[in-house]
Amino acid sequence: MDKILEVCDLKKTYGAIEAVRGISFFVERGGLFAFLGPNGAGKSTTIDILCTLLKADAGTVTIDGYQLGRQDGAIRAKIGVVMQDNLLDPLLTVRENLVTRGGLYGMSGAELSDAIERAATATAVTDFINRPYGKLSGGQRRRADVARALIHTPKLLFLDEPTTGLDPQTRSGIWETLLLLRRQQGLTVFLTTHYMEEAAGADYVVVIDEGIVAAKGTPETLRSRYSHDRLTLYASDPAMVAGQLERLHAPFTRTGGTFVILLSDTKAALYLLDLCRLYISGFEVQSGTMDDAFLGITGKEMRA
């Protein structure tokens, strides 16, 4: 297993507040890794540490073979970061912003021109590369942010809620770009998001809450462990449906003639449907979602 990032017993306190309390996890090279948690969970503190913006109190972090706290310069050369807030100069064009960013990595001349062309093409910003950043739409600015993060061809890209506030079509376009970069460049993506459908596409998920790792695994593992499938019955005879479910001691919630039953697995719906088929006008079977799993792990909504 090739680990590009490994975190061991990471800790950070602010006075009496233990923001991060000894968390450990790793990220496989070339993968899409989702790091989730409600507000106040310690997620932002952890990301700031990993991006060399904040010093940890204890623990070790290794990124692409370099040790955090000792080889931070080498680590910065290997990572790209797209934060929630826009960081580019709104008065400069996208190209001018990229020139400035490339200069910080010691690039100039043909090397810088090639890097700008490569990053601009990869993120599809060439059509507006000569427009001021501050005049761009939200989706265009996000693409420019990603281009900035890619100017030095990093191996690990941190994305802190990269599509927040964007419309679904623009979000989809951003993700098409990121998936293409993963295929073409073997880029590893470290993602935080409150859109659970984005987390559902990850190779591996870690959920942090109250400064500790509350759960980790593949999206499918977390869904199966922490969420339930649901059967919704639309009753033509609510009294009979209620009676059948009560005789089975099947827990349910009822709103008028609509009954919702949590299932141990999807197949369990078959028996209940057969039992109630004479008394219902319709039904739905829904698989457990990442939203359900997140709520089951933390007891909180994602946006809490």
User: What distance in Å separates the CA atoms of residue 238 and residue 279, rounded to the nearest whole number?
Assistant: 7
CA 18 vs. chain centroid, Å, equals 24
pLDDT at 43: 92
Rounded (5°) CA angle 162-156-201: 55
Q: For the chain, give the number of residues.
A: 304
- For residue 284, give the nearest of 228, 230, 224 by alpha carbon: 230
Taking residue 258's Cβ as centre, other Cβ atoms within 10 Å add up to 15
pLDDT at 304: 47
User: What distance in Å separates the CA atoms of residue 61 and residue 234, rounded to the nearest whole number?
Assistant: 53
- For residue 164, give the nearest of 304, 18, 303 by alpha carbon: 303
What tens-digit pLDDT sequence spans the chain (304 residues)?
Answer: 799 999 999 999 999 999 999 999 999 999 999 999 998 899 999 999 999 999 999 999 999 999 999 999 999 999 999 988 778 999 999 999 999 999 999 999 999 999 999 999 988 899 999 999 999 998 899 899 999 999 999 999 999 888 877 788 888 888 888 888 888 888 999 999 888 888 999 999 999 999 999 999 999 999 989 988 999 999 999 999 999 999 999 899 999 999 999 998 888 999 999 999 999 999 999 988 898 899 889 887 655 4
Q: Which tokens hold the place of 247? A: 């005789």
User: What distance in Å separates the CA atoms of residue 115 and residue 121, rounded to the nearest whole number?
Assistant: 10
Q: Model pTM greater than 0.95?
A: no
CA distances from 36 to 32, 157, 192, 204, 220 (A): 13, 16, 6, 11, 15
User: What distance in Å separates the CA atoms of residue 100 and residue 14, rounded to the nearest whole number?
Assistant: 34
pLDDT at 162: 83
